Amino acid sequence: MSNPIRILHAVVNMNRGGAETLIMNLYRQMDRTKLQFDFLTCKEGVFDNEIRSLGGRIYRIPYVSEAGHFGYLQALKKFFSQHHDYSIVHAHMDKMSGFVLHAARKSGIPTRIAHSHSSASEGGFVNRLYKWLAGTRIMSSASHYFACSKEAANWLFRQQAKQALILPNGVELEPFSYSESIRCQTRKELNLKEEQFVIGHVGRFVPVKNHAFMLELMKEVLRHRPDSKMLLVGDGPLRSEVEQWIRSNGLSDSISLLGVRNNVDELMQAFDVLIFPSFFEGLPVTLIEAQAAGLPCIVSDRVSNESDLQLGLMSFQPIETINAFTQAILNVDHPYDRKNMTNKLQKSNYNITNSAKVLEQFYMSNNEVKNEAVNDIYAHV
């Protein structure tokens, strides 16, 4: 039996972010006798052990914040000089992918994929300027363009956006299939009352997710529904600041921080509504998961409406003030008549099985899949 084709995925780390969750969802679906994923990372991640158990290799180089600009470029050059036998490099670092793919091109790797997972750069002015510099290398270094949405493609690839393969952020549907028994058990484990109205959010504790808005929003919701509970899932640099705000406002009984969890599917069964007031996004995996779970979603109008799967669960609201978000939350019926939505999504582009087959076909053929052919591919999976 021949050895599998090894695909090198470039990420900062393999933690539970949207892009990383998508990669793992895809990895689990791959025929690993034909294809194996390896990872070029800069930091440890929560998925590392699972990656190794699936047969993947993890390489580590220092990130630019540790090595400095020239140190980082030198580390990339050294890595690819030692691992130039890869035929495919798939970079998920948005504009920072430019540096990775430039080094891969210099080492002669033929297939170099830039994958856009966002619609803007995070960080302050200096960070965004540096990322812009890195992004100028993408057009000359990438051989193929992937994006989670048209908006994400337009942001990273500009004039070349129409050349991008739109690979929707598929999810494994079955775990999110609504179950009343799982809802009751999960709420019991979380010490939630049966009749309690639960507002949930899943995301990193970083500025783009807009946690300050969520906290002020909860104060307003409690004025109308005093028995409400907010559950925040995730971790990140702003967590201690959020914890301090909760304590200083006396809301420790109303807002709980659950940290990074591996049972998001069960938590979404326990929620009554998901809020998502981000300043920008690509196409969030979390929103696909929530809709698969039949969960109403109140979402920032700065998030692309491409995330709406037309199941009647999405409400886009402005984030300039909390009034519209508050009213949309209060308009959610409680108890809500949850429906099983997974059957409606089985044949969609958001079923991870279908997404994985599209990507597998791309990798195996090692040729560009044109956008107009994507629907034909999905039609046969």
Q: Give per-residue pLDDT as tens, 118-168.
A: 888 888 888 889 999 999 999 999 999 999 999 999 999 999 999 999 998
Do 186 and 263 belong to one domain?
Answer: yes
Residue type for position 226: P
Q: Report the C-alpha gap between 292 and 286 in whole angstroms.
A: 10
Order of strands across the sheet with 229-233?
255-259, 229-233, 198-202, 273-276, 297-300, 314-317
Do 330 and 355 belong to one domain?
Answer: no
In percent, how much of the chain has pLDDT > 90? Answer: 77
4 in Cβ contact with 33 (< 8 Å): yes
Order of strands across the sheet with 111-116?
58-60, 35-41, 5-10, 88-91, 111-116, 144-147, 165-166
Compute the average pLDDT of residues 52-57. 97
In percent, how much of the chain has pLDDT > 70? Answer: 95
Of 22-31, 275-284, 334-343, which gets the smallest average pLDDT? 334-343
More confident residue, 339 or 82: 82
Compute the average pLDDT of residues 73-102. 95
Q: How many helices (H) and strands (E) does the chain have?
A: 16, 13
What is the residue range of 39's domain?
Answer: 5-170+349-379
Average pLDDT along the chain: 91
Compute the average pLDDT of residues 357-361. 92
Do 60 and 152 belong to one domain?
Answer: yes
- Which pLDDT value is given to residue 371? 40
Q: Report the C-alpha gap between 102 and 91 in whole angstroms.
A: 11
- Which pLDDT value is given to residue 120? 84
Do 225 and 245 belong to one domain?
Answer: yes
More confident residue, 299 or 369: 299
- Which pLDDT value is given to residue 374? 42
With residues binned 3-state (H G I as helix, E B as strand, rest as coil), the percentages for the chain, rounded to 5, are 45, 15, 40
More confident residue, 368 or 97: 97
- Which pLDDT value is given to residue 366? 66
Q: Report the C-alpha gap between 211 and 245 in whole angstroms.
A: 11
Q: Report the C-alpha gap between 135 and 5 in whole angstroms.
A: 28
Phi-psi region of 101 (alpha: psi -120 to 50; beta: other; left: phi over 0): alpha
Do 201 and 283 belong to one domain?
Answer: yes
CA-derived radius of gyration, the chain: 21
Q: What tokens were used for 281? A: 């996004």
352 in Cβ contact with 25 (< 8 Å): yes
Do 178 and 205 belong to one domain?
Answer: yes
Do 338 and 361 belong to one domain?
Answer: no
Taking residue 125's Cβ as centre, other Cβ atoms within 10 Å add up to: 7
Of 19-23, 193-197, 336-340, which gets the smallest average pLDDT? 336-340
Q: What tokens were used for 355? A: 């997404």
Residues 6+ apart with CB under 8 A from 357: 377, 381
Do 136 and 210 belong to one domain?
Answer: no
* pLDDT surpassing 80 at residue 370: no
- Which pLDDT value is given to residue 377? 42
Taking residue 289's Cβ as centre, other Cβ atoms within 10 Å add up to: 24
Q: Which secondary-structure segment (H or E) carries 72?
A: helix 64-82
| Domain of residue 51, CATH code | 3.40.50.2000
* pLDDT surpassing 70 at residue 230: yes
Q: What tokens were used for 278? A: 């981000």
How many structural domains is the chain composed of? 2
